[in-house]
Amino acid sequence: MPIHAPSLPPHPIQGQGLPAALVLGRFEVRRILRQRLGRFFGFAFALVLLVELALVYFKPMAGAGGQLLPQGADFQAGLLGKALLFLLWLQVAQVGGGLVARDTLYRIRPLLYAHPVRPLDYLLGKGMVAVGIPLLIQLPFILLPWGLSLLSAGAQGPVWPTAPLRLIPAALVVALLMGLITLGASSLASTPRGGFAWALGLVLGFGALGTLLSGLLSDPRWGALSPMALAQAWPRLCCGAPGDLGWFPTGLGTLVHLGFWLGVVVLRTRPAEALA
Amino acid sequence: MSLLSLDRASLRYGDILGLSPTSFSLPLGGGITGLLGPNGAGKSSLIQLLCGLLPPSGGEVRVFGEAPYRNPAILGRIGLVPEGDRFPTGLRGDRWLRMMGRLSGLEGQALETALGATLDLVGMTDRAHLPFSAMSKGMRQRIRLAQGLLHGSDLLVLDEPFNGLDPEGRLELMETLRGLAGQGRHILVSSHILGEVAQLTDRILLLLRGRLLAEGSVTEIRALLDRHPVELRVHSEDPRAVARWAVEEAGLAGLRMEAGAVVLSVGSPRAFLPRFQDAVARGAFPFTALSPLDLDLDAVFHYLVQDHA
């Protein structure tokens, strides 16, 4: 064993603290929280949430003599509505698009893998951020209207008492879809801006392809190619609201996207790829 | 147990051979070892194997007696200072170092103590809070070095650490590395410039085209230069006068005329150059400039290849 002279720093005590995936995830979250763009998205999401909360009161009251009434499945699914999901896609593309691409640009992955960090730790760390952020943003849009409805009118309020049980699983699938697609896009890019462009390009490109094939083949199920259509379909399916996509095309389309983009990220973040 | 050993270890990137089957070992005991070779010689491949970034395609690699690939116990004893000067511009040096420390299993007071001691060692205590964009290249290099030392690494591996540094920065880094080696650290420095490594250490490994060509002291490598003719280009207003002087001197293996210069091929530059200096001082011929054509590392490799052939 080497002899350490007294003037060298003593060997620090290792093996403490968080697992590597959590260290990476925490570092990314803190970096994201320091970004100025977060304020814009924070304002935009708050606005959408305020509108949603106002609807809980005013929409049911319109034709019911001032009293709150239970609403249908469309209203429940609308808590994770188009406006929220569109904003969320933009935000996730901006955040997730840079998660892997930034490390590629600054050649950080080889350095990470020279530490006790496995590729799985790296993927889990980045994945937690890419999936966790859209999930956390969706939760207030489910829980606040639900809580407000319960407080205002109990079980007879506009939001079903069981709505979180239906919408939280939908939000989780939507977050997984958004997180993995943007991580895949980020792994294909060499700069964070490139990752953002890839993420938007993939979402809009698959959307256009889905719409085109649906029209050409007169079969709306081809819409399941579109990540945006899939994200909109899950809350509706979980709440039992009618829609263009049924369980099978939505489930299959989601599984194909998740499997494909997970494969892309795994391949593109291997140590051999990081060193190329 | 040796510091590191390779037993017919090779590395392939698909169809491309990064490192041919190579065997050597370095003993424990601290000190600096130079890893020399021109660009594309296989230095980075060897470093990737030693730092556990990739498994060998064949053979065996051992560091501190164990295979480093996906071996947290060994990776925790190695500090890699990679090549390049790219950092996220808005990021602060101390935040970066804290994350790297946490990845090596440091936390809380142990992390802060190690961070303070390491920053002190590399002379960045007062400047680590700056964002990378506000740091000079030398400061960023010190932060990179601190990253390799933070977790108390026993083996420090530096990939082309002098690239892009100004002369003052090079000297400072050399002093720091000498100090670390003097206190028992094992240091492996890769470079494609013989002169840089020669100032640091007398123990070198020579790589070329994915092969380990030689291991030995800088003196032995320099001796190779004396055994082979060296070409010197002498710029002069009267190259013929230089040629006339040279043909009468012992040790001239050949010469050729160029516009405004003469290229002398000399057997032993160490013996020839003092005589040349005397002739210039005596005014034996008009003299403008002298430039060696093949005194660099590539020439050494060329000679080694010839010797091996």
The pLDDT assigned to A174 comes to: 96
B192 touches chain A (CB under 8 A): no
Kindly tell me if the per-residue pLDDT of A187 is higher than 90. yes
Give me the pLDDT at residue A198, please.
Answer: 94
Tokens of A154: 């109990």
Q: What per-residue confidence (pLDDT) applies to B206?
A: 84
For position A143, what pLDDT does the model report?
92
pLDDT of residue A36: 77
Q: How far is B297 from chain A (nearest CA, A)?
A: 26
Tens digit of pLDDT for each residue in A256-267?
Answer: 999 999 999 999
Q: What is the pLDDT of residue A128?
A: 95
Per-residue pLDDT band for A5 (boundaries 50, 70, 90) equals very low
Average pLDDT, chain A: 86
Output the pLDDT for position A11: 62
In angstroms, the CA A157 to CA A70 distance is: 5
What pLDDT is stored for residue A2 in this prediction? 38
State pLDDT tens for residues A233-258: 999 999 888 888 889 999 999 999 99
Mean pLDDT, residues A131-157 taken together:
88
Q: Which long-range contacts (CB under 8 A, 24 or more apart) does B95-99 make?
A: B95/A27, B95/A30, B96/B132, B96/B143, B96/B147, B97/B128, B97/B143, B97/B146, B97/B147, B97/B150, B99/A23, B99/A24, B99/A27
pLDDT in the model for residue B161: 86
Contact at CB, B28 and A2, closer than 8 angstroms: yes
Residues contacting residue A143 through CB under 8 Å, at least 6 positions apart:
A164
pLDDT, one tens digit per residue, over A69-83 is 677 888 888 889 888
Chain A nearest-CA distance from B13, in A, is: 8
Q: For residues B45 and B19, what is the distance between their CA atoms, to the nearest angstrom?
A: 6
**Of A14, A102, A105, which has the smallest distance from its Cβ to B151's Cβ?**
A14
How is chain A split into domains, by residue range? 21-28+39-53+70-274
Local structure of residue A3 (DSSP, 8 states): P
Give A-chain residues touching B90 at CB under 8 angstroms: 34
How many cross-chain Cβ pairs, A to B, lie less than 8 Å apart?
A: 121
| pLDDT at residue number A4 | 38
Q: What is the reported pTM?
A: 0.79
pLDDT reported for residue A188? 94
What pLDDT, on the 0 to 100 scale, is given for residue A61? 54
| Cα–Cα distance, B59 to B69 (Å, whole number) | 13
Nearest-neighbour CA in chain A from B300: distance (Å)? 29
Per residue in A41-77, pLDDT (tens digit) is: 888 888 888 887 787 666 655 555 666 667 788 888 8
Q: For residue A274, which residues of chain B lie inside 8 Å, CB to CB?
A: 53
Q: What's the pLDDT at A181? A: 96
Q: How far is B121 from chain A (nearest CA, A)?
A: 8
How close, in Å, is residue B252 to chain A by CA atoms? 47
pLDDT tens readout for residues B205-245: 888 777 787 787 766 766 665 666 778 889 999 999 999 99
| pLDDT average per 10 residues of sequence, chain B (309 residues) | 86 85 83 84 88 90 90 88 81 91 88 90 88 88 89 88 80 86 87 78 81 76 66 90 88 87 84 88 90 66 61
- Decide if A111 and B80 are in contact by the 8 Å CB cutoff: yes
Cβ separation B107–A16 shorter than 8 A: yes
Which residue of A3, A8, A12 is in closest CB contact with B106?
Answer: A12
Of the candidates B47, B43, B37, the one whose C-alpha atom is nearest the C-alpha of residue B302 is B37
- Quick: pLDDT tens for A193-247: 999 999 999 999 999 999 999 999 988 889 999 999 999 999 999 988 888 888 9
Give the best residue of A14, A27, A124, A191 to mutate against chain B (max B CB count within 10 A).
A14
Q: Report the pLDDT value the prediction gives residue A3, as an integer from 0 to 100.
A: 38
Q: Is B104 close to A7, i.e. CB distance below 8 A?
A: no
**A95, A97, A102, A103 alpha-carbon torsion, rounded to 10°:** 110
